[in-house]
Amino acid sequence: MAEFSPGRITPIILAGGSGTRLWPMSRSSRPKQFLPLMGAHSLFQVTLLRLAGDPRYGAPIVVTNSDYRFLVAEQAQDVGVAPDAIILEPVARNTAPAIAAAVAVVARGDAGRIVHVLPSDHLITVDDKYRAALDAAETAALAGALVTFGITPTEPATGFGYIEAGSENAAGGHKINRFVEKPDAERAAEMIAAGHYFWNSGMFVFAAQTLLDEAQALAPEILDAAQKAVAAAQTDLDFLRLDPDAFAAAPDISIDYAIFEKTTCGVVVPAAIAWSDLGSWDAVWKAGDHDSAGNVAQGPVTLRNVTSSLAVSEKLHVVIEGLSDIAVLASEDAVFVGRLSDAQAVGAVVRDLKADPTTSPLTETHLTSYRPWGGYASIHNGERFQVKRLFVKPGKRLSLQKHFHRAEHWVVVRGTAEVQLGDDVRILRENESIYIPQGARHRLSNPGKIELELIEVQTGSYLGEDDIIRFADEFGRS
Amino acid sequence: MAEFSPGRITPIILAGGSGTRLWPMSRSSRPKQFLPLMGAHSLFQVTLLRLAGDPRYGAPIVVTNSDYRFLVAEQAQDVGVAPDAIILEPVARNTAPAIAAAVAVVARGDAGRIVHVLPSDHLITVDDKYRAALDAAETAALAGALVTFGITPTEPATGFGYIEAGSENAAGGHKINRFVEKPDAERAAEMIAAGHYFWNSGMFVFAAQTLLDEAQALAPEILDAAQKAVAAAQTDLDFLRLDPDAFAAAPDISIDYAIFEKTTCGVVVPAAIAWSDLGSWDAVWKAGDHDSAGNVAQGPVTLRNVTSSLAVSEKLHVVIEGLSDIAVLASEDAVFVGRLSDAQAVGAVVRDLKADPTTSPLTETHLTSYRPWGGYASIHNGERFQVKRLFVKPGKRLSLQKHFHRAEHWVVVRGTAEVQLGDDVRILRENESIYIPQGARHRLSNPGKIELELIEVQTGSYLGEDDIIRFADEFGRS
């Protein structure tokens, strides 16, 4: 990272989570933050656009894991955002090491720089209260505080952690007494009644150097691991790949416990803002547009005599009749039906599905997979054949490859393809086709200006994605 | 029909119903009787096999409507049953005209012959009680009675019509007092308490001549229409197509009201047998195999903390969590979720869906369509292309055809295809492909001994099924 983009605050977006509590939509290969849950853009893109609309921010730094690197790069590109860096965590170590590494990257450029650490998948309404809270946080951070935002609770929610605020300081912030894990209903009600507890938003504002100093004092092993991982990091295409051995040495701990609960310069800024972590389907329902019967419906859905329910469907037509407090979530290949008020149970459901080898793929992959060049959707699985729809972005090129066990028929249905087969290169237009024999070296490119779409019929005795030998690749995968 | 097959009773199977109360599985193009609801065979096939297993029966006569003729012929052939006749109703006129026409066909061969009229989609357990009831019915029919079966009720069901039985005759049958429409719960309980009410099974046994005589006396306009429709019927391939004008003149009325309620030779034979009309999803649940929590599950289904529920899925993985008395029915393109105990509501749901042009196709067709030569499944719909999987039975041939607006790419993925393109005929084997240009005459055959399966990619500006000019066809469709 040569220098910072304009804007005085650097956002650090945490986009490495692999939660599956919004199953069947969220899966480990494409978790919640990368899904278009609340409109045309993914939550990650909504986050990028929210930051891009505020001149106080420079370009973001995104921290994610290696599996999501192309999703991050493409989704950012799609909304016209160029991150200052995309940092790849080699292993998951909770928020403290991830944030320490990102801050270490920032500090290489300007140790005094203010950063705003935030999750990639929360919904926030930008209004005067939000802007006022940010102003307060920035002021406190410039004065040397480690600031966290505490969302003013609107109900005794049991799905969030809480922050107990202590005495108030001059700028309207409060001392942080402690972090409280997700409470039961009784404890949540007590905290609401007490009035000095706030929802833990997972958003922080501080100067890079302040965090480094406090980490040095309170969690030196984290700082050491993070700094070594950054020092030995590899640049890989557009990504900064943290050193695996160094980063793996960091303890697995949240920044709340590692730093914020112990520091003497911690401040919680109360913020009475519209916020949701969309952490479960009932949170999605709360954040959605309700009809007069209190239902939220997305996609092809018909509701008859239904109240206080959530129905989301990607493709199938969902019909619900005569029920209340129901959640029906239909992806292309799975449907979840349960009580909306018990939507937290999806977590246990996914654990069960994961434990069974016949169902675990349903928690991992979608029928549509995204690749740096575009992607493919499985549209039919036969006995010794399968049919996929491939889509290739303008100007992109797949690897030069061959398969031992399958032949492929390609029919171009949209756009223009350039196909290398052996040493021969030819152009295929819409409605033209080509046959790729088993064992033949081949390479597919989209030389055009619009997306290339083709139907691929694979035939052979083994059709796994791992039957691929890559001879050359533009995305570091050969 | 030249002569009767061995067996002294001719079954007349009514297979023309187009009910959609088992939506989303049952649709008007492929209703309940043709679906494999309770195992590998459709209900119609289960009915055929039940009759074929009893030497008292000859080959059946099937009455259906024109749209279902190939389904009837193929499903019968699949289980090795050759009907004596497949009679096609040109319009739906309820049971009295349909039965009168079928009986008129039987009477042309032998007016004294005993027939057993039965629905194609009911579930019956063949046991000693069932056989005894049939024996009693046959004896009474030979003595000149019009016999109906009354199922001994096991609960005050509101989903069936009832028959009020009168005085008992020597053979254990009863006079028929009257037919009662589906009652409310209170009235049903009263009838159960009274003890002389039976469920109306829709099954009848009588000699052909007895029915003709009684129809002549009690409903002459029905008999006249039926006899004229048979006299002017056209033989079309394996089908007997009733004359449309003659048949349309018959009143729309059930045989219960037209004949049985009025005749003096009516007899109801009580039968304490295991029977279900599978008329709604709760009936399917009752007839299914229950787990220890009272659930019935078919297909890829996961139940967690679920009781007294029904889950049926054709393809998608259905997960239900923490609910009771729930019905989740998932076809390839639609999901119904409602109370199992309120499963009758599916009828109203389907009416609503039918009334909306955007959803009415969901009540009419399935993603997979059956044709006399095999069929096709829609596997992907794109903007100016679509992908289908075609399956062609051994020895079958599609029509010689052309399309004005689409080109087709075919990839053979199983079996062997013979393709006529223009004047050229060639053989395609597994993993070979061919391109059918827009406007080109072509014809696909399966010359092999195993099913032919191919993937068809259609491209063009209009992709409707009606863009087809047929030059020659083996199934009377050109």
pLDDT single digits (tens) A19-69:
888 999 999 989 999 998 888 899 999 999 999 999 999 999 999 999 899
- Cα–Cα distance measured from residue B171 to residue B138, given in angstroms and rounded to the nearest whole number: 11
Q: Is the pLDDT assigned to residue A372 strictly greater than 90?
A: no
Alpha carbon of A225: minimum distance to chain B alpha carbons (Å): 42
The residues, any chain, with a CB within 8 Å of residue B455's CB and separated by 6 or more, are A380, A385, A387, A455, A457, B387, B388, B389, B390, B410, B411, B413
Show the beta-strand stretches assigned E in B359-405. Answer: 368-371, 374-381, 385-392, 400-402
**B344 to chain A: closest CA residue:** A321
- Cα–Cα distance measured from residue B420 to residue B424, given in angstroms and rounded to the nearest whole number: 6
Look up residue A306 and give its DSSP letter: -
* C-alpha torsion sign, points B342, B345, B346, B349: negative
Residues in chain A with CB shorter than 8 Å from the CB of B338 are 320-323
Q: Is the pLDDT assigned to residue B5 strictly greater than 70?
A: no
Least confident of A51-60, A467-476, B28-37: A467-476
Q: Which CATH number fits domain A368-472: 2.60.120.10, 1.10.357.10, 3.30.420.10, 2.30.110.10?
A: 2.60.120.10
- Cα–Cα distance measured from residue A124 to residue A130, given in angstroms and rounded to the nearest whole number: 8
- Decide: B57 and B11 in contact? Cβ < 8 Å: yes
Structure tokens at B391: 């399956």
pLDDT per position as a tens digit, B194-247 = 999 999 999 999 999 999 999 999 999 999 999 999 999 999 878 999 999 999
How many angstroms separate the first and last alpha carbons of chain A? 26
Nearest in space to A145 (alpha carbons), one of A195, A84, A209, A201: A209
B residues 60-79 near A, CB within 8 Å?
none
Q: What is the mean pLDDT of residues B72-100?
A: 95
Residues in chain A with CB shorter than 8 Å from the CB of B362 are 317
Domain boundaries along the sequence of chain B: 9-276, 292-353, 368-472
Nearest in space to B92 (alpha carbons), one of B67, B115, B127: B67
- Decide: B318 and B299 in contact? Cβ < 8 Å: yes
Structure tokens at A362: 């349903």
pLDDT at A4: 63
Q: Is the pLDDT assigned to residue A1 strictly greater than 60?
A: no
Q: How far is CA A40 from CA A318, A358, B129, B472, in A?
A: 20, 32, 63, 49
**B346 to chain A: closest CA residue:** A321
Q: Is the pLDDT assigned to residue B3 strictly greater than 60?
A: no
Q: In the sheet where A301-304 sits, what is the strand order?
A: A301-304, A317-321, B334-339, B326-330, B310-313, B296-298
pLDDT at B475: 80
User: How much of chain B exceeds pLDDT 90, in percent?
Assistant: 85
A residues 386-415 near B, CB within 8 Å?
387, 389, 407, 409, 411, 413-414
pLDDT per position as a tens digit, B140-197 = 999 999 999 999 999 999 889 999 999 988 777 899 999 999 999 999 999 999 999 9
User: Quick check: A384 and B413 CB within 8 A?
Assistant: yes
pLDDT per position as a tens digit, A227-236 = 999 999 999 8
Nearest in space to A64 (alpha carbons), one of A53, A49, A75, A79: A75
Read off the pLDDT band of A439 (50, 70, 90).
very high
Q: Which residue has the higher pLDDT, A215 or A465?
A: A215
pLDDT at A3: 56
Q: Is the pLDDT assigned to residue B473 strictly greater than 90?
A: no
Nearest in space to A23 (alpha carbons), one of A37, A13, A44: A37
| Probe site for chain A from B368, B457, B461 (most A CB atoms < 10 A) | B457
User: Quick check: A382 and B326 CB within 8 A?
Assistant: no
- ∠ CA A221-A223-A226 to the nearest 5 degrees? 105
pLDDT per position as a tens digit, B422-469 = 999 999 999 999 999 999 999 999 999 999 999 999 999 898 888 999
Number of Cβ within 10 Å of residue A198's Cβ equals: 27
Q: How many contacts, defined by CB atoms under 8 Å, are there between A and B?
A: 171
- Cα–Cα distance measured from residue A85 to residue A91, given in angstroms and rounded to the nearest whole number: 18
pLDDT at A474: 84
Q: Residue A411, SS3?
A: strand
pLDDT at A476: 78
Q: Is the pLDDT assigned to residue B1 strictly greater than 60?
A: no
Q: Is the pLDDT assigned to residue B85 strictly greater than 50?
A: yes
> Which position has the token pair 């009784």?
A186
Read off the pLDDT band of B38 (50, 70, 90).
confident
- Cα–Cα distance measured from residue A330 to residue A328, given in angstroms and rounded to the nearest whole number: 6
User: Quick check: A382 and B389 CB within 8 A?
Assistant: yes
Q: What is the mean pLDDT of residues A184-194?
A: 95
Least confident of A105-109, A471-475, B105-109, B275-279: A471-475
ipTM entry:
0.88
Alpha carbon of B450: minimum distance to chain A alpha carbons (Å): 14
Show the beta-strand stretches assigned E in A272-325. Answer: 275-276, 296-298, 301-304, 310-313, 317-321
Show the beta-strand stretches assigned E in A40-173. Answer: 61-65, 85-89, 114-119, 123-124, 146-151, 162-168
pLDDT at A37: 87
pLDDT at A111: 95
Look up residue B243 and give its DSSP letter: -
State the Cα torsion A65-A69-A75-A77 to the nearest 10°: 130
Q: Is the pLDDT assigned to residue B2 strictly greater than 60?
A: no
**A415 to chain B: closest CA residue:** B384
Look up residue A359 and give its DSSP letter: T
**What is the topology classification, in CATH, of domain A9-276?**
Spore Coat Polysaccharide Biosynthesis Protein SpsA; Chain A (3.90.550)
- Cα–Cα distance measured from residue A198 to residue A149, given in angstroms and rounded to the nearest whole number: 9
Structure tokens at B224: 């006249």
- Cα–Cα distance measured from residue B230 to residue B241, given in angstroms and rounded to the nearest whole number: 8
Q: Is the pLDDT assigned to residue A2 strictly greater than 50?
A: no
pLDDT at B478: 72
User: Quick check: B382 and A414 CB within 8 A?
Assistant: yes
b/e per residue A58-73 (b: at least 16 CB within 10 A): bbbbbbbbbebbbbbb
pLDDT per position as a tens digit, A132-160 = 999 999 999 999 999 999 999 999 998 89
Q: What is the mean pLDDT of residues B393-413?
A: 94
The residues, any chain, with a CB within 8 Å of residue A296's CB and separated by 6 or more, are A284, A285, A288, A289, A290, A309, A310, A311
Q: Is the pLDDT assigned to residue B4 strictly greater than 90?
A: no
